[in-house]
């Protein structure tokens, strides 16, 4: 029986080592291996099971790609907002306390148990009902609309002012890591391939021509990064792990407030008869699915399937995270914490190992 690491993949971190040794390992391309030959209508559930951490986004993207390939102009329920909000909450409440403070947080556990969106059983109408009060009480310690207004005027300064003064457990958690998290991190170019149909078509061509492309993606020959800080609606790349934490918190607030349904973008295009591509801005960044079908109608089967997920961009062996790990000194007492901060900020969907000891990111 295959181990969980063999199935899901694992990142191996070697601080101070030159790239590509600084960050190695990759996920198996299960989409390409498992999808071919299966009925087209089964693809959303298959990919939702394979990519269990972001299953909803994968189901949505796979369904849209198959519909595009079949020439079906079907409208899907707009559930991306609610599921992305839930994913942000899970990362903040479950992962951040462990990665930033090396232990679970009782305050985070209480917040998790009382969160209206997480208790709503998947209903998106809970997003704007009780969430602002919950966010004020359990996360920010201030009125969310006021916090967001200040953030939109001056993001870095507003986040730092809140983090340094607010009495909330989340502010304290981020404040305790500020000295390390505020250090500059060299960014890769923002992944905005979904800004034009021409760029998406070029991406689809690259995925189909190079079997290894989804494991080592490039735009114009270079690495790129993606996250909630690279939305089409956003302008500047962040400079540090703190800036990325701030971007996730700001997006959580935006999604929870009225009008949050307009924050995230998704789409699909027909590439050719029987061939479609779909994309969605999800919690970890931009997700892209490409499919080519054999046959028509209910008899159509998957002839090819390519999935390009955020982890493959952000944790490329030569990307921004790898560059940051390369510059770390393994003898420094805070080296392990710096690695944990990078993992929390960029958010892989697989486990990572450091210096021979297994440390969990997002399980």
**CA atoms of 26 and 217, how far apart (whole Å):** 12
- Asked if residue 26 has pLDDT above 80, the reply is no
Res. 77 pLDDT band, cuts 50 70 90: low
Asked if 225 contacts 313 with a C-beta cutoff of 8 angstroms, the reply is yes
Supply the CATH classification number for the domain 4-359.
1.10.645
Neighbours of 85 (CB within 10 A): 27
Res. 156 pLDDT band, cuts 50 70 90: very high
Residue extents of the structural domains in the chain? 4-359
Whole-prediction pTM: 0.92
Res. 84 pLDDT band, cuts 50 70 90: very high
- Which residues, at least 6 apart from 248, have a Cβ–Cβ distance to it below 8 Å? 88, 91, 92, 227, 228
Q: What is the mean pLDDT of residues 135-155?
A: 97
Give the burial class of 45: count Cβ atoms within 10 A of its Cβ; 0-12 exposed, 13-18 middle, 19 or more buried: middle
Query: What H or E segment, with its residue span, contains residue 308?
Result: strand 301-308
**CA atoms of 83 and 166, how far apart (whole Å):** 28
Asked if 22 contacts 14 with a C-beta cutoff of 8 angstroms, the reply is yes
pLDDT for residue 208: 94
Q: What is the pLDDT of residues 39-59, one digit of tens each?
A: 999 999 999 988 887 889 999
């Amino acid at each position: 029986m295959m181990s969980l690491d063999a199935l899901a993949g694992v990142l191996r971190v070697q601080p101070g080592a030159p790239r590509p040794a600084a960050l190695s390992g990759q996920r198996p391309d299960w989409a390409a291996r498992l999808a071919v030959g299966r009925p087209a209508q089964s693809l959303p559930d298959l990919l939702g099971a394979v990519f269990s951490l972001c299953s909803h986004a994968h189901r949505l993207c796979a369904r849209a790609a198959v519909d595009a390939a079949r020439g079906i102009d079907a409208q899907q329920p707009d559930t991306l907002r609610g599921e992305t909000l839930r994913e942000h909450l899970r990362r903040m409440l479950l992962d951040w306390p462990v990665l930033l403070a090396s232990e679970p947080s009782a305050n985070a556990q209480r917040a998790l148990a009382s969160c209206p969106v997480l208790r709503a059983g998947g209903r998106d109408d809970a997003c704007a009902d009780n969430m602002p009060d919950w966010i004020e009480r359990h996360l920010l310690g201030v009125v969310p609309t006021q916090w967001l207004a200040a953030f939109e005027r001056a993001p870095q300064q507003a986040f730092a002012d809140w983090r340094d003064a607010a009495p909330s457990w989340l502010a304290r958690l981020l404040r305790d890591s500020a000295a390390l998290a505020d250090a500059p991190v060299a960014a890769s170019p923002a992944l905005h391939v979904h800004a034009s149909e021409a760029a998406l078509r070029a991406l689809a061509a690259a995925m189909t021509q190079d079997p290894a492309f989804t494991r080592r993606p490039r735009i114009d020959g270079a690495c790129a990064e993606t996250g909630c800080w690279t939305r089409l609606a956003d302008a500047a790349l962040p400079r540090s792990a703190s800036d990325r934490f701030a971007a996730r918190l700001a997006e959580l607030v935006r999604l929870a407030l009225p009008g949050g349904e307009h924050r995230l973008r998704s789409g699909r295009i027909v590439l050719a008869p029987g061939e479609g591509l779909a994309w969605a801005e999800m919690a970890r960044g931009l997700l892209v699915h490409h499919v080519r079908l054999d046959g028509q109608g209910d008899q159509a089967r998957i002839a090819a399937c390519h999935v390009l997920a955020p982890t493959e961009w952000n944790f490329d062996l030569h990307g921004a995270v790898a560059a940051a790990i390369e510059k770390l000194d393994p003898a420094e007492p805070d080296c392990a914490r710096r690695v944990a901060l990078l993992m929390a900020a960029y958010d892989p969907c697989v486990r990572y190992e450091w210096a021979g000891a297994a440390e969990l990111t997002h399980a």
